[in-house]
Amino acid sequence: MKAAYISHPSSQRHEMGEGHPECPDRVAAIADRLLMRGVLDVMDQFEAPRATLEQIGRAHDMRYLLELQAMAPGAGYVAVDPDTAMNPHTFDAALHAAGALVMAAELVLQRDYKRVFCNVRPPGHHAVRGAASGFCFFNNAAVGIRHALDELGLERVALVDFDVHHGNGSEDIFAGDERVLMVSTFQTRLYPFNGDEPMGPNLCNVPLKPYSDGDALRAAVSERWIPALQSFSPQMVFVSAGFDAHREDDMSQLMWRDEDYAWVTREIVAFTDDWCQGRVVSALEGGYHLGALARSAELHVRALIGLD
């Protein structure tokens, strides 16, 4: 089975100031762990190209793209929301992060890769059609999904999001798009403080209570996600892979363990093996405790590529 790993050096040049949790070390921690544990030995490695503005424009308003481009500072930082800032490398990093998902879709649909992991930042799932927010600038997964649909001929694509925060940007972009089913779990009443009531019939949002553990995840997946995915019958699955529901990550109060990330990934992979030729593209979203992030991402990628 062909598996690919996509990243880009620009993912480590974008940073939002001293002490910001969404930091360059996140992708480095994952890359180091995957290298050290031999996982990268069995994956073909690629550098992410820049997405074109046309490709990003399938998920975002062109006016927003041009405004963001114009805001990019020549030095220092410029704030785009209270938690989110640009440095001189941010716009380029965001283009490459979105480009990773475009490339991933092409590797799967044109070059017979089955599983792709994109270790890129900035993350994407809080970026709505017309604005950056919550550490996100472009909705990377949404750009990849729209590329698969509009350019590569697919008719139905599913997005799975297990980040601890609700993927409000993906919901904003895909609500009402009948070609896309989004299934997700997230901690209720946590940033961005919505999602309990889905914005459309193509969204399966499963809010989880604070301090719930992997048992609540397992129930959500078995009772909600899998039936919704089966009735939608996607041709390919994208994963917004956030690792901030981990019990060691103090961004949330969920209590997941390393092994829960392996479990949920095995469920996703088993579904795609049965329903859509095993096609899965996964991309990094959140995860802020570097140790828990690296371990959980390793288990996620191992399960993704069938290495466990």
Question: Which of the residues are catalytic?
Answer: 126
Tell me: does residue 278 bind Zn ion (CB under 5 A).
Answer: no
Q: Which stretch binds Zn ion (CB under 5 A): 27-35, 89-97, 168-176, 235-243?
A: 235-243
Of the pair 179, 246, the CB lying nearest Zn ion is at 246
- 3-class secondary-structure state, position 44: strand
Q: How far is the CB of 108 from Zn ion (least distance, A)?
A: 25
Q: How far is the CB of 239 from Zn ion (least distance, A)?
A: 14
Is residue 195 within 8 A of residue 207, CB to CB? The reply is: yes
Q: How far is the CB of 242 from Zn ion (least distance, A)?
A: 4
Q: How far is the CB of 206 from Zn ion (least distance, A)?
A: 15
Nearest to residue 105, comparing CAs of 54, 142, 64? 142
Is residue 66 within 8 A of residue 115, CB to CB? The reply is: no
Tell me: does residue 121 bind Zn ion (CB under 5 A).
Answer: no
Dmax of the chain from CA atoms?
A: 50
Q: How far is the CB of 164 from Zn ion (least distance, A)?
A: 5
Distance between the two ends of the chain, CA-based, in angstroms?
A: 14
Of the pair 163, 260, the CB lying nearest Zn ion is at 163
Report the C-alpha gap between 159 and 146 in whole angstroms. Answer: 11
Q: Which of 205, 242, 267, 283 binds Zn ion (CB under 5 A)?
A: 242
Q: Which stretch binds Zn ion (CB under 5 A): 14-22, 38-46, 68-76, 163-171?
A: 163-171
Q: Which of 15, 244, 260, 267 binds Zn ion (CB under 5 A)?
A: 244
Q: How far is the CB of 286 from Zn ion (least distance, A)?
A: 3
Q: Which stretch binds Zn ion (CB under 5 A): 77-85, 154-162, 242-250, 269-277?
A: 242-250
Q: How far is the CB of 84 from Zn ion (least distance, A)?
A: 13
Tell me: does residue 163 bind Zn ion (CB under 5 A).
Answer: yes
CA distances 207 to 167, 223, 245, Å, are: 11, 13, 12
Look at the alpha carbons of 253, 255, 257, 263 in this order and tell me if their dihedral is positive or negative: negative
Sequence-distant (6+) residues with CB within 8 A of 168 are: 125, 126, 128, 134, 192, 194, 195
CA distances 188 to 65, 165, 193, 196, 253, Å, are: 30, 8, 7, 7, 10
Residues 123-162, mask of contacts with Zn ion (x by CB under 5 A): ----------------------------------------
Tell me: does residue 22 bind Zn ion (CB under 5 A).
Answer: no
Look at the alpha carbons of 56, 65, 135, 211 in this order and tell me if their dihedral is positive or negative: negative
Tell me: does residue 286 bind Zn ion (CB under 5 A).
Answer: yes
Backbone angles phi, psi at 220, to 5 degrees: -60, -45
- One-letter amino acid identity for 34? L
Report the C-alpha gap between 183 and 164 in whole angstroms. Answer: 13
Q: Which stretch binds Zn ion (CB under 5 A): 87-95, 114-122, 205-213, 284-292?
A: 284-292
Of the pair 244, 260, the CB lying nearest Zn ion is at 244
Size of interface with Zn ion, in residues (CB under 5 A)? 5
Q: Which stretch binds Zn ion (CB under 5 A): 205-213, 221-229, 285-293, 294-302?
A: 285-293
Is residue 181 within 8 A of residue 156, CB to CB? The reply is: yes
Residue nearest to Zn ion (CB): 286
Q: Which residues of the chain form contacts with Zn ion (CB under 5 A)? A: 163, 165, 242, 244, 286
